[in-house]
Amino acid sequence: MIKEYKEAELKADTAANYGRQYQQCSISVMDTIADPDITFDENGICNYYYEFKCLQLQNVFSGTEGENKLQELIENIKTNGKGKPYDCITGISGGVDSSYLVLKAKEWGLRPLILHFDNGWNTEMAVSNINNIIKKTGFDLYTLVVNWEEFKDLQLSYIKASVVDIEVCTDLAIGGTMQKLAAKYNLKYILSGNNIATEAIMPHTWIFNKADYVNLLNIHNKFGTKSLKTYPLYGFKEQYLYSIGRGIKTVRPLNLLDYNKVHAKKDITEKLEWKDYGGKHYESTFTKFYQAYVLPAKFNIDKRKAHLSTLIFSGQITKEEALEELNKPLYQESELKIDTEYVLKKFGLTSEEFQFYMKQPRIEHSIFGTQKFLTQRFPLLKLLKPFKHFIGR
């Protein structure tokens, strides 16, 4: 039997709500399903609302304040890039946030090197979006094409390990390659499309640390069959060396310009011939399959709840609109059939094997061991932190 996500049944099942009655936030669409840590105040408002407000206060600047901070950042990037082939580096997936950021970088007169990570799961539309963006902006593209046999082995290890965050395989490699490229071209700035307005909140039980290569290696050692010869490993040690040693900074300009998803989509559609593929992170066939089938059916996690709730908190949609969106099926039946066939064929799994893994209980990442922060192992390194901004300049 195929494992399915049935929200109505989960609502009535106390076990699926971690021993509680089903409850949904009075403001957002976050609820007790799949989130053991959610809490509500006396008005039924969930903890994520307050977390969002905190993050917004700390990181988002609008109006003149935002403009000034943005101008200052742009000037710093330009100054740092003088005499270099590029002044910053940014990643592109073909999705809304990264595409919009590249468009803005062009308008601000920046000269980024664009990195794209090809892990073998790109949709045709994502590639066409990236191609249009490169043609329209004239920016140079650098593609990291992962060795598919190695990457397949790594992703399969995560599926067999029954852990929640299979995307660590991709995210860790992107983070590492970005830092390495920045170091290669002696650049200080990495532009990130990551932003508070559209993606601030995410329950920590839905994801895992994206830079923990010890956990990745341990999972792969236990379940993998091939050695990772070319996969770009990147861990806390490198992160520390690049940020402290070379002074490489990741900056998030979308937090400085009243970022709005609808406006951004309109802008990139008009100016970059960007095409919508219908879901956050659906530029990759695997990510779509993972978010719209694996996560809900196996882990009871519907990531749309976090994405839509963030948009409610930032005032970009109403709760009614979010509920309407959530009522739409995660996958069209025919589409799920096609994607399942494609994914299983690419992984070399039979339907029975895959369903076996889908029915295994969740195993926590930490069971496989985690990387200790470098400062935990060498506490004296903490003393260097105040000098972070001076070292490497």
Least distance CB 113 / another protein (angstroms): 8
Q: Smallest distance from the beta carbon of 148 to another protein, in angstroms?
A: 12
Q: Which of residues 323-362 bind another protein (CB under 8 A)?
A: none
32 CB-near residues (< 8 Å, 6+ apart): 17, 18, 20, 21, 22, 23, 24, 38
128 scored as a contact of another protein (CB under 8 A): yes
CA 229 to CA 151: how far, in whole Å?
10
Tell me whether residue 127 or residue 241 sits nearer to another protein (CB atom). Answer: 127
Q: Which stretch binds another protein (CB under 8 A): 63-71, 136-144, 286-294, 359-367?
A: 136-144
Question: What region, left, alpha or beta, does residue 365 occupy, with left being phi > 0 and alpha being psi -120 to 50 degrees?
Answer: alpha
Rounded to whole angstroms, the Cα distance separating 338 from 331 reads: 11
Q: Which stretch binds another protein (CB under 8 A): 6-14, 142-150, 161-169, 377-385?
A: 142-150
Q: Which stretch binds another protein (CB under 8 A): 22-30, 125-133, 162-170, 289-297?
A: 125-133
Which of residues 157 and 170 has its CB atom nearest to another protein in the complex?
170
We find the least distance from the C-beta atom of residue 114 to another protein, in angstroms, to be 8
Tokens 């309109």 belong to 266
- For every residue of 283-296, which 3-state class applies, written as one string? CEHHHHHHHHHHHH
Q: Is 150 in the site for another protein (CB under 8 A)?
A: no
Q: What is the DSSP string of 136-189?
A: HH---EEEEE--HHHHHHHHHHHHHHT-S-TTHHHHHHHHHHHHHHHHHTT--E
CB-based contacts of 245: which residues, under 8 Å, 6+ apart?
391, 392
| Residue from 145, 323, 338, 367 in contact with another protein (CB under 8 A) | 145
For the bound state, the minimum distance from the C-beta of residue 115 to another protein, rounded and expressed in Å, comes to 9
27 lies in the binding site for another protein (CB under 8 A): no
Q: What is the DSSP annotation of 295-308? A: HHHHH---THHHHH
Rg (C-alpha) for the chain, rounded Å, is: 21
CA dist 336 and 332 (Å) reads: 6
Binding pattern to another protein, positions 36-65, x when CB under 8 A? ------------------------------
By CB under 8 A, name the one of 17, 24, 32, 116 that touches another protein: 116
Binding another protein by CB under 8 A: which of 26, 58, 131, 351? 131
Residue count (the chain): 393
Q: Among residues 143, 360, 366, 376, which is the contact residue for another protein, using CB under 8 A?
A: 143
- For the CB of residue 297, give the shortest distance to another protein in the complex, in Å: 31
HEC states along 177-228?
HHHHHHHHCCCCEEECCCCHHHHCCCCHHHCCCCCCHHHHHHHHHHHCCCCC
Binders of another protein: how many residues, by CB under 8 A?
12
Least distance in Å: CB of 127 to another protein? 6
Binding site for another protein (CB under 8 A): 116, 118, 127-128, 130-131, 134, 140-143, 145
